[in-house]
Amino acid sequence: MGETSWQTPDPVNDWTRQFMGPHPSVLYAASYFPQLGMRQTTAAAPRIGLEAPRVRVLQDTVRGGQRTVRLRLVSPREAPVLRLLVHSVMGRLTATVNGRPLSGTDAAVTDDTSVRWRFDYYASSPRGIGVTLRLAAGPSVLLRVVDCSYGIPAELAALRSAPGGNAARRH
Amino acid sequence: MLPGGISDTMLTEAVLRLPPSGKQDAGEEASDPL
């Protein structure tokens, strides 16, 4: 079973402090917000039985020095956004999603994060999406699939004051 | 944070490490169950 946490790339305010508690930690990672830098504030979160997204490898072959990986990504909780992140350096990478091409990119270009390539897919169906990656054959490839839904889980948000509510106005 | 200014989001993740290419069975293709 995995870990659960609260994370925010923003300074802790009255709203997020309700969840984070008085002593959150600072984490340097690009886990969920690679576009927003590496510094995150984090704290332990309760488990509420969320099911992680599923990723199934349908094909992983090499031909002529090119590796082709075909995946099926599904969000069991039917989150509206599916995200695929590639954390390995591998040179040029091209991809299709449900048969439609995405713009290619040089995944070897480095920045401050370990994320080398990513995309977000909105309004995913319960069947999920099919992704085909084409990249140079070589070392292992670390993939992360993240699904995103909007808002705080009702059973947790109900215990706190809404943004702009009493807690925020006290200061 | 998702594009569009939605700041409260719930995320779950799965991690998969593909082995070095050549470790898998070349030419083998699983059927799509969906």
Q: Quickly state the pLDDT bin for B26 (edges 50, 70, 90).
A: very low
Is residue A120 a contact partner of residue A82, using CB atoms and an 8 Å limit?
Answer: yes
- A152 reaches B (C-beta below 8 A): yes
Closest CA to A87 of A40, A166, A145: A145
Average pLDDT, consecutive stretches of 10 residues, N- to C-terminus, chain A (171 residues): 83 86 83 66 89 95 94 95 84 91 72 77 92 92 91 76 42 28
Contact B21 A138 (CB under 8 A): yes
Is A62 domain-assigned?
A: yes
pTM over 0.95: no
Residues A99 and A135 grouped into a single domain: yes
Nearest to A144 among B2, B13, B32 (CB): B13
Is A58 domain-assigned?
A: yes
Residues A81 and A138 grouped into a single domain: yes
Residues A60 and A144 grouped into a single domain: yes
Instruction: Name the residue range of residue A133's domain.
Output: 54-148
Task: Point out the domain boundary residue: A49, A64, A81.
Answer: A49
Q: How far is CA A81 from CA A34, A133, A157, A170, B14, in A?
A: 16, 19, 21, 35, 14
Residues A45 and A58 grouped into a single domain: no
Nearest to B21 among A50, A67, A145 (CB): A67
In the block, residue with structure tokens 């090499």: A62
* Angstrom distance (rounded) from CA B32 to CA A58: 6
Q: Indicate whether this complex's ipTM tops 0.90.
A: no
